[in-house]
Amino acid sequence: METQKSYKFSEINYKKLKEIVNVKLVKNQKIFNEWFGFKYEINQYDENFLLKLIELNRYNIKDYDEYQLLAHFISRLLGLVYFCGENYREWYQPEISGTVNGKILYGKPDFMVASGIEEPEIPFFFIQEFKRQRTISDPLRQLLAQMATAMENNKTKHMKACYNIGRLWTFVILEKLQEDKYQYYESRSFDSLDIDHLKKIYKYLKAVKHKYCK
């Protein structure tokens, strides 16, 4: 009997993802219109918080390792969003695994919103991958592998997510077309040290919370 191949999320790159599944980029960003069109008014307290977050990190973020990036910037932003509700909560580095196209995928996503109280149960759709600005890893392909695994476990055909490299944030949508065929979309990148961009990032995260955590 042939042993199933297994892949760790943190080791996946473009070449390894191609071994696992057929996934292609769709060069069209109109699919983000519904997500990004979410109406949310940022109050003065939140705007002041975001401005202070920028000033506290403006000159250091380029040198942060993953832990510092998470501790000094990302976790504070996510805390303001407050991904907690009656049937879901946020999870940092939860263990997840699953089978995609006959291949076993496993590892610890950096951040995930999922149902569950003592352990994550069903990822709702939003998984983030945190990487430092100067990196040789492949956060996009690792994120796509995590999303595909969650979709297979959830038995769904659509998932939203985001990855960031240093100050830049990019949103992603993955769709399953058939058994071994996926397509994904990438938004433009947003500079989290620009207040107008950071307000958009915050609003899009709030959209995830209010529109898609059901």
pLDDT recorded at residue 126: 77
Check pLDDT > 60 for residue 148: yes
| Identity at 81, one-letter amino acid code | V
Has residue 182 been placed in a domain?
yes
Check residues 5 and 214 and name the one with the higher pLDDT. 5
**Domain annotation covers residue 16:** yes
Q: Which pLDDT band, with edges at 50, 70 and 90, does 135 fall under?
A: low
Average pLDDT, the chain: 91
Residue ranges making up the domain that contains 11: 6-37+64-212
3-state class of 195 per DSSP?
A: helix
Distance from chain centroid for Cα 9: 13
Listed in sequence order, the residues at least 6 apart from 159 whose beta carbon sits closer than 8 Å to its beta carbon are 123, 125, 127, 147, 150, 151, 173, 174
Q: By C-alpha distance, which of 31, 33, 5 is closest to 20?
A: 5
**Residue 32 DSSP one-character state:** G
- Quote the pLDDT of residue 191: 98
Task: Answer whether residue 51 is part of any domain.
Answer: no
49 domain residue, yes or no: no
* pLDDT at residue 117, rounded to an integer: 76
Residue 193 domain-assigned?
A: yes
Residue 54 lies in a domain: no
* pLDDT, tens digit (0-9, with 9 covering 90-100), for 62-107: 999 888 999 999 999 999 999 988 888 999 999 999 999 999 999 9
What would the two tokens of residue 48 be? 């002041």
Residue 111 belongs to some domain of the structure: yes
Name the domain count of the chain: 1
Nearest to 70 by CA among 142, 8, 129: 129
Indicate whether 47 belongs to any domain: no
In the chain, the largest separation of any two C-alpha atoms, in whole Å, equals 62
